[in-house]
Amino acid sequence: MEKIFGEEFAVFVKWLGQLREQTKETEPDFEKRRALLREALDGFRLLGKVQYPKVWLDERAAKTG
């Protein structure tokens, strides 16, 4: 996964984990914690494209074509 998403994503996920632990320690109310974490994720988007191997695409085309 690190190869796909890169080092920055790994650092981001680690930061989220630390933020989660910190809010668990400082905010006893579950709904408030949830709101804080959702706010931290506001603006996060995972955009991408799936690229399949040519051999699979060729085999698929042969079966359907």
49 or 38: which carries more pLDDT confidence? Answer: 38
Nearest residue to 20 via CA among 34, 6, 4, 2 = 34
Tens of pLDDT, residue by residue over 12-34, are: 999 999 999 999 999 999 999 99
pLDDT band at 1 (very low <50, low <70, confident <90, very high): low
Is 16 in contact with 40 (CB distance < 8 Å)?
yes
Residue 14, amino acid: K
Ordered DSSP codes for 7-49: HHHHHHHHHHHHHHHHHHHH---HHHHHHHHHHHHTT------
Q: Does the structure show a pLDDT above 90 at 5?
A: no
Q: What pLDDT, on the 0 to 100 scale, is given for residue 42?
A: 95
Arithmetic mean of pLDDT, 31-42: 95
